[in-house]
Structure 1
């Protein structure tokens, strides 16, 4: 079985990942003097010894730290104002992006592997525009490749090239001899190479959260900030009533009667369990969780996710 090379959404090209730079302005992943990102907590929750610089003064908003109120401006304007600070630039941002066989699937706009590559490219371009250092690790079933964090377009393009090559290497027939827990090994490698204070952006299959991976994420969160973006497809969450379904992989075969209501209910419950596990982990570690689905366009769902994280003004 051969995959149509020119069919959109199945594979991604380097040119498409480069073009993601044009969408950075649509998603406030990082704060600028003119725009405050809802993810600002990633830069200010734990400074880990890094310096901060005064940025600007603006009207106090619900959720702002009262310790940063500028009392002189408040007294002069008769309206509460708060000081904003930003950390030193050139923060290492490390993107862990999965391109394994289990992501080579999709029933909606694109395959999960394509969504992961696009999201990684968008984060990388946004970080470079924020003057941070960009690096990452692209892992598949049998191998992984690293790019050391650097503040250069060449480093970013190197990472995008690795993403595109790994994505285009995915085929319908899986390659033998895959590593059992490639995600856990990738996280362990990140712990070995990253310095404290780095921001780690994790893009992986929603089903990748094994016991070992959860332990590695917990250890990684002790010295770095995390942003979790698990990926899923609508068929990961609900099995359609489509009659007898036959699945084959190598010499193995599986048949499921999708008209069986109990089977579909258990399938939904397993998906809910996976979602809840990610939610519990994010809550325990105190890190943002932005689940992504192949059902929706990337920029639109990130905008919606970030909007939900933004503190609401008091009535």
Structure 2
């Protein structure tokens, strides 16, 4: 059982527990207790980067570990999908501590310098065909190499069957580049752009491009009613994750 929340079905109230506790409690059916939590984590080379306390890859691994062990502790099945290397690696949801440990161990393996790497969209397509329905999906990446229009189409399909939370891992140097000469990167429209970081105008252009892509990502998540929050390489993962999840739960209750 759990406490009754506004919007719950009154017919599912457990009246015996309600009378004993003097507060309304709801019966939880087996399907509700057996939800799968899937950790979709970017293990690509670009995550091996950080100019502050740690790398983006380490922050992502900490986030996945906290989410995974929390779900395991609540009796949920935990699955994983790691992308950014040659092909997405899918771990089917399981209640096994050994299975969760295998997912987390894979997050500690140094990435290969493969040119042909899997994308976030390819990973999400795997979930589209492998994870059934009703899962809680956490997508953990920096979104720097993500094609937003493609992501929007894929998330639009996934959200019909799953609950999704996007967690963006970033480093201050992602938007505030030091003076290191000519730098090539992918613009929001998918084209490759070169910026002279030695010039102030070049640095401003880079920051503007990054902020534009972030705004597009935010608008995309809002249009799909998908929560998005960010954790930097300077942040305490536990407190940042707790804050983001509390906001997520509050929004769910508001929209029920």
Q: Same fold (TM over 0.5)?
A: yes
Partner of 1:189: 126
* Distance (Å, rounded) in 1 between the aligned partners of 2:245 and 2:231: 12
Alignment counterpart, residue 111 of structure 2, candidates 148, 169, 178: 169
> What does residue 204 of structure 1 align with?
141
Tell me the alpha carbon deviations over residues 174-208 of structure 1, each in whole angstroms, 9 at most, x when there is no partner: x24323x6111111111110111111111112214
Query: Could you say if the C-alpha distance between residues 283 and 148 of structure 1 is closer, same or farther in structure 2, counting changes exceeding 3 Å?
Result: same
Alignment partner for residue 180 of structure 2, among 238, 245, 248? 245
Q: Which runs of 4+ in 1 moved over 3 A?
A: 64-68, 81-87, 246-249, 306-312
Unaligned runs of 5+ residues in structure 1 are 1-53
Contact 1:145/1:162 (<8 A) preserved: no
Aligned to 2:3: 56
Question: Does the alignment pair 1:216 with 2:154?
Answer: yes
- Equivalent pairs counted in the alignment come to 232
Aligned-pair CA distance for 1:114: 1.1
Tell me the distance in 1 between the aligned counterparts of 2:145 and 2:234. Answer: 19
Q: Which residue of 2 is the match for residue 126 of structure 1?
A: 70
1 CA distance for matches of 2:245 and 2:133? 25
CA contact (8 A) 1:90 1:151 kept: no
CA shift, 1:218, in A, is 1.6
The equivalent position to 1:97 in structure 2, one of 41, 47, 52, is 41
How many Å separate the matches in 2 of 1:84 and 1:265? 54
CA distance in 2, matches of 1:101, 1:307: 31
CA distance in structure 1 between the aligned counterparts of 2:183 and 2:229, rounded to whole angstroms: 32
Greater C-alpha radius of gyration? 1
Q: 2:240 corresponds to which residue? A: 301
State the TM-score, normalized to the length of structure 1. 0.65
Report the secondary structure of 2:144's partner residue: helix
- TM-score, structure 2 length as denominator? 0.78
Q: Which string of whole-angstrom CA distances, capped at 9 and with x for unpartnered residues, describes residues 107-138 of structure 1? A: 11111111111111111101101100011111
Instruction: Please give the alpha-carbon distance, in whole angstroms, between the structure 2 residues aligned to 1:82 and 1:206.
Output: 42
Alpha-carbon offset, residue 310 of structure 1: 6.5
